[in-house]
A and B are shown apart, each in its own frame.
Chain A
Amino acid sequence: MSWQKLGKEFEKLRAEYRGSLPAKLVRLRSLWARVDCEEPDPDALEILKRELHTMAGSAGSFGLPLVSTAAAAAEDALSDLKEGSRPGAKRVAKFNDLFDRLGKA
């Protein structure tokens, strides 16, 4: 049985998940703002990575594979960023692009 066949219950959960995405994106952006600043917050970086990881792992199961892919790419883009260090211009551009993709997905 695929997710599509799980009927109304699944559709309800999917709608709930989809409905929760805008707030999640706002939160991700706010965490990113605490990383991409003069004094980067190491805790914010860790939380951001974790939340992107969670989104990458769950969105596809709710029928949103593009969100999963974009979140995984964003997580990858942060993987070698050291705690407390400010991301370089290249990484910022890449990450912002991924954020846009995430928003559109």
Chain B
Amino acid sequence: MDEKHVYALTARGTRELKSAATSLTALELKLLVLIDGQSPLSRIFKQFPSQPLAELKDTLFKLKTAGFIADAGGDEDSGDGAIEATGFFTRPVFPELAKAGAEAASQSDETLQLLRKQGYVARIAKRATEQMKLEKGQKIHVLVIEDDPQLAKLLRMFLNMHEFIPRMAAGKDEIVAALRVVPKPDVVLLDVTLPDVDGFEVLSRIKQHPVLKTVPVIMMTAKATREAVLQGLTRGADGYITKPFDVDIISSGIKSVLGLK
């Protein structure tokens, strides 16, 4: 596999990125997000400094064979216009939290416009490796971290109607308080932009917490930048939903990450 080669997403690959659930592995998903029809493989591979090259090539081959990507029709380094992701994967997976969050929150206009032009709205939710079986009468506890009171109200209503048990938090203190409540939440819906704390920081802290680290987290954001999606996935987010969203996505996302039918 020539590292100067350029791949583009196929219609199937694009659908996979937009879908509410995916059966792809984290590595497959990260590679798929980086495939933009402009960046040569050498540039993409640089984003995975600790990953064996053979594994990367093997994963790309699988994506190609499965029809998620195809030749972009050239092997030149396109240079100008390529999405800038430099530095994202060279940072540690859990870097200085506030700094990394701020970087993700300030993506360039160019990236955002390109994503919108290409129809990228991330609606990704990993499928749980094990299916969750609910006991009779057991309900799912959902922690919703959302600072917009109207949207929070809407989410609470929707979750109640679907027999989930919602628990709401809008800022740092409320998040701490909500996480202390027993039982621990089964899933967290997490807004990226919060008034007094960055959503990515909250994600990292959940994923580094000895008890909470196994709780699936679905990020919700109005910023659909490729880097922001990668930021979430790299930090261990189990799903990524762009706002505004339809409730179908919330419901299917929760079920997907929990392995519920």
Residue positions of A touching B, CB distance < 8 A: 1-3, 6, 9-10, 13, 16-17, 20, 50, 53-54, 56-62, 65, 68, 72, 76, 79-80
A17 → chain B closest CB, angstroms: 5
Within 8 A of A (CB), among B203-261: 220-223, 243-248, 251
Residues of chain B lying within 8 A (CB to CB) of residue A72: 222
Give chain A residues whose Cβ lies under 8 Å from the Cβ of B161. Answer: 6, 9
The answer to whether A13 touches B150 (Cβ under 8 A) is: yes
In the assembled complex, which residues on chain B have CB atoms less than 8 Å from the CB atom of A9? 157, 161
CB pair B245–A61 under 8 Å, yes or no, is yes
Contact assessment for A10 and B157 in the assembled complex, using a CB-CB cutoff below 8 Å: yes
B positions within 8 Å CB-CB of A: 109, 112-113, 147-148, 150-151, 153-154, 157-158, 161-162, 193, 195, 220-223, 243-248, 251
**A3-B246, A6-B158, A61-B245 known; A76-B151 Cβ under 8 A:** no
Q: Tell whether, in the assembled complex, residue A56 and residue B109 are in contact, meaning their CB atoms are under 8 Å apart.
A: no
Task: Tell whether, in the assembled complex, residue B247 and residue A2 are in contact, meaning their CB atoms are under 8 Å apart.
Answer: yes
Contact indicator B153/A3 (Cβ below 8 Å) = no
Whether the pair B247, A3 counts as a contact (CB closer than 8 A) is yes
**Within the assembled complex, what's the spacing in Å between the Cα atoms of A54 and B194?**
10
Q: Which residue of A lies closest to B150 (CB)?
A: A17
Q: How far is the CA of A98 from the CA of B46 in the complex (A)?
A: 40
Q: Which residues on the B side are within 8 Å of A50 (C-beta)?
A: 193, 195
Q: Decide if the interface of chain A is mainly helix, strand, loop or mixed.
A: helix
Least CB distance, A42 to chain B, in whole angstroms: 15
Q: How far is the CA of A3 from the CA of B154 in the complex (A)?
A: 10
Are A76 and B193 touching (Cβ within 8 A)?
Answer: no
CA distance A65 to B87 in the complex (A): 34
**Bound CA–CA A53/B195 (angstroms):** 12
Using A6-B158, A53-B193, A76-B109 as known contacts, say yes or no to A65 and B244 having CB atoms under 8 A apart. Answer: yes
15 contacts between A and B (CB under 8 A): A1-B162, A2-B248, A3-B247, A6-B157, A6-B158, A6-B161, A16-B150, A53-B223, A54-B222, A56-B243, A57-B151, A58-B150, A60-B245, A76-B109, A76-B113
Contact B148 A76 (CB under 8 A): no
**Cβ contact within 8 Å between A13 and B148:** no
- Report how far A79 CA is from B113 CA in the complex, Å: 12
Per the bound structure, the CA–CA distance linking A59 and B245 in Å amounts to: 10
Contacts A1-B248, A76-B112 given; does A56 touch B153 at CB 8 Å: no
Instruction: Give which listed residue, A2, A54, A68, contacts B246 with CB less than 8 A.
Output: A2
Q: Which residues of A contact B248 (CB under 8 A)?
A: 1-2
Q: How far is the CB of A52 from chain B (nearest CB, A)?
A: 9
Cross-chain contact B109 with A60 (CB below 8 angstroms): no
Q: Which residues of A contact B150 (CB under 8 A)?
A: 13, 16-17, 20, 58, 62
A61 x B193 contact (CB < 8 A)? no
Across the interface, do A57 and B109 meet the contact criterion of CB distance under 8 Å? no
Residues of A within 8 A of B154 (CB): 10, 13, 61-62
A60 touches B244 (CB 8 A): yes
Chain B residues near A54 (CB, 8 Å)?
A: 147-148, 193, 222
